[in-house]
């Protein structure tokens, strides 16, 4: 019987192999863009040793598959144009249609790169006016793997129009829109981004093994069983939460949490709006109940009442006095719920919100003034301390925090696809290890350049936007240190950085103004690649002279036009320090295209800093072309993240 089964398997496999279809790598679909002016790799699989013919435009190439059925050809360089057909013929024939030749850009990083046109400011207007067939976009599916992969889940290239553009990367689209407007060539966007990812998951194992900083770390990776880790970390996280809230998790009691009369006096508190990961609850995903009480008079009950709950990450069911008044599963949606008549009571009232956090940050977030109750024309502020209780925790591990896993599944399968350059927006998840980012970020760039073997292709990135984080020059600020690490990466050849301190949102880590970010990235490309004679970046620190009690600063990228964008006589954001290394707010002015900095209580200044804080939105130093100045410091004094290192062991610790 076993011999018969074995014979059947062999016959089945032989029959299967003899009828295998010619297939292309999934990056090749209808509507795609191929890179112009350089050899174009085309690859796929077929029967072992099968002869495959590839036809494109006026080219014909013939290749023989290897003993494993793999094949690849390189088409001769093509100029921008199309649409064309790509025909691949073996025992079967594949035909791809509506293919353009132009410039292709890989868009990668975390959530601010993933953020879509539909989530960006003025989304309705942008979507309705999007009808540009020269722009094409493909989203690489979010996957991880412990080994480098040759293929990935199929996603088709989309032609830009009002029915498709809402799901495009916002930054990628606005970059492409500017490029098409100026160059009138096709632009292809390969969107390989994933919210919440750290930089380490995007670096190959080979990259780590070739790095003195990370070589020891990567040797621990093969010993990890991710399923076991997830269970152990869940148990540890559960113990911590029960200790913080001094009670066991018991979902059978949660139905009473919404009631007005429920006694929450023993519940711990956290501040809202603010991610609970930044507070005593710590890092975890799951379900949390939030409660807030307020008092009303009899007259208040006669007025229309509307509850505003800012934004809630990710889902909510909201109750007032036990009555459900609304719900949403959109984490970036402003909550506005009308409270029905007779729900509110004279005296004590209670708001209860069941929050489901599926990943990343959790809780109410946004502007404090957006968290309120309006009764008639009277506003009851609801920001501040809320009672909370955890109902349950999610029993999965954020495996994309581990090294190389996203690279293996989302970047490696693209090799050796030809492209023009990379657009990168990432760093928020690495802020606590900002000093090490000085090594990790250049490592990623050099790693990708080595893997794709297309030379030192352009690598343009976005510096962290304004965001209200803790810390300053005297306390230390990880957000500022991460920005510095990004600035230092400009030492890598053929890189460029976009500064966004002026277009962020202090209360939202995902600012919706992706238009200006995309345009500024395009300005870098138009200047550096296409040699348009434009200033494409803001003032950056050049040199400092000390003259008595004053510092005189010179800058690059100004064309003799340093200015304040708000036409103020003074430049905001500067601090100054003497030998005691204590920084004080400074008086800064523009004179003869230099910045003069001083402070009354610093008689012998030796150092200055500019924008050395998370929320740097007050910075008003620009060049005439409208680009903001790069935050910087002239000292090399201690940093607070220098000793924070990435390690596998630390990923297993409950914060």
What is the predicted pLDDT for the residue at 285?
A: 85
Q: What is the pairing mode between strands 132-139 and 269-272? A: unpaired
Residues 6+ apart with CB under 8 A from 199: 426, 427, 429, 430, 437, 440, 441, 444
What is the predicted pLDDT for the residue at 601?
A: 92
What is the predicted pLDDT for the residue at 654?
A: 60
Which single residue is written with the structure tokens 């970046």?
Answer: 537
Can you name the CATH fold of 230-393? Jelly Rolls (2.60.120)
What is the predicted pLDDT for the residue at 629?
A: 97
What is the predicted pLDDT for the residue at 244?
A: 87
**Helix (H, G, I), strand (E, B), or coil: what is residue 306?**
strand
What are the structural domain ranges in the chain? 230-393, 540-633
Answer for the pair 134, 100: CB distance below 8 angstroms, yes or no: yes
Cα–Cα distances in angstroms (integers) from residue 66 to residues 24, 371, 452, in the given order: 15, 63, 21
Q: Report the chain's C-alpha Rg in angstroms.
A: 28
**Helix (H, G, I), strand (E, B), or coil: what is residue 226?**
helix
What is the predicted pLDDT for the residue at 397?
A: 66
What is the predicted pLDDT for the residue at 250?
A: 77
DSSP symbol at 508: B
Residues of the chain with pLDDT under 50: 1-18
Reported as half-sphere exposure (CB side, CA atoms, 13 A), residue 6 has a value of 3
What is the predicted pLDDT for the residue at 226?
A: 67
């Amino acid at each position: 019987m076993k011999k018969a089964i074995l014979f059947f398997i062999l016959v089945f496999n032989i029959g299967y192999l003899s009828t295998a279809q010619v297939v292309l790598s999934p990056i090749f679909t209808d509507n795609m863009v191929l890179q112009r002016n350089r050899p174009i790799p085309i690859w796929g699989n077929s029967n072992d040793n099968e002869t495959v013919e590839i036809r494109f435009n006026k080219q014909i190439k013939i290749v023989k598959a290897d003993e494993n059925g793999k094949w690849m050809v390189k088409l001769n360089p093509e100029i921008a144009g199309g649409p064309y057909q790509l025909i691949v013929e073996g025992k079967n024939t594949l035909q791809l249609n509506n293919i353009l030749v132009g410039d292709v850009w890989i868009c990668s990083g975390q959530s601010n790169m993933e953020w879509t046109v539909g989530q960006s400011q003025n989304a309705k207007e942008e979507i309705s006016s999007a009808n540009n067939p020269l722009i094409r976009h493909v989203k690489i599916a979010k996957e991880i793997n412990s080994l480098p992969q040759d293929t990935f889940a199929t996603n088709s290239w989309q032609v830009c129009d009002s029915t498709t553009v809402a799901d495009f990367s916002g930054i990628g689209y606005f970059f492409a829109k500017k490029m098409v407007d100026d160059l009138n060539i096709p632009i292809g966007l390969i969107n390989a981004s994933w919210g919440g990812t750290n930089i380490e998951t995007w670096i190959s194992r080979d990259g780590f093994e070739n790095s003195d900083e990370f070589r020891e770390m990567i040797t621990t990776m093969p010993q990890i069983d991710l399923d076991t880790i997830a269970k152990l970390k869940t148990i540890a996280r559960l113990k911590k939460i029960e200790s913080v809230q001094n009670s066991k998790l018991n979902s059978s009691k949660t139905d009473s949490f919404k009631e007005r009369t429920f006694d929450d006096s023993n519940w711990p508190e956290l501040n809202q709006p603010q991610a609970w990961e930044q507070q005593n609850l710590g890092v975890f995903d799951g379900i949390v109940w939030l409660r807030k009480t307020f008092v009303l008079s009899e007259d208040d009950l006669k007025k229309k009442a509307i509850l505003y709950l800012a934004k809630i990450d990710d889902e909510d069911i909201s109750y007032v006095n036990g009555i459900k008044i609304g719900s949403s599963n959109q984490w970036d949606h402003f909550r506005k719920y009308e409270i029905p008549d007779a729900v509110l009571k004279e005296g004590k009232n209670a708001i209860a919100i069941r929050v489901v956090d599926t990943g990343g940050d959790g809780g109410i977030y946004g502007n404090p003034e957006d968290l309120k109750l309006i009764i008639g024309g009277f506003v009851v502020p609801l920001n501040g301390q809320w009672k909370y209780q955890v109902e349950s925790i999610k029993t999965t591990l954020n495996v994309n925090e581990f090294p190389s896993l996203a690279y293996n599944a989302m970047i490696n399968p693209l090799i050796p696809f030809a492209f023009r350059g990379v657009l990168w927006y990432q760093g928020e998840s690495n802020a606590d290890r900002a000093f090490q980012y000085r090594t990790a970020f250049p490592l990623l760039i050099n790693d990708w350049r080595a893997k794709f073997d297309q030379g030192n292709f352009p690598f343009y990135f976005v510096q962290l936007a304004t965001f209200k984080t803790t810390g300053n020059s005297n306390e230390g600020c990880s957000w500022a240190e991460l920005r510095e690490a990004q600035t230092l990466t400009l030492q890598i050849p053929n890189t460029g950085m976009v500064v966004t301190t002026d277009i962020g949102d202090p209360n939202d880590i995902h600012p919706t103004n992706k238009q200006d970010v995309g345009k500024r990235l395009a300005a870098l490309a138009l200047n550096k690649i296409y040699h348009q004679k434009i200033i494409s970046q803001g003032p950056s620190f050049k040199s400092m002279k000390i003259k008595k009690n004053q510092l005189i600063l010179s800058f690059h990228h100004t064309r003799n036009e340093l200015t304040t964008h708000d036409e103020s006589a003074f430049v905001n954001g500067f601090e100054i320090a003497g030998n005691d290394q204590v920084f004080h707010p400074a008086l800064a002015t523009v004179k003869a295209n230099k910045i003069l900095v001083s402070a009354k209580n610093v008689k012998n200044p030796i150092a200055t800093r500019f924008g050395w804080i998370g929320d740097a939105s007050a910075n008003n130093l620009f060049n005439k072309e409208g680009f903001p100045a790069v935050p910087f410091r002239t000292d090399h004094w201690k940093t607070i993240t220098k000793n924070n290192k990435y390690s596998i062991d630390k990923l297993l610790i409950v914060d």
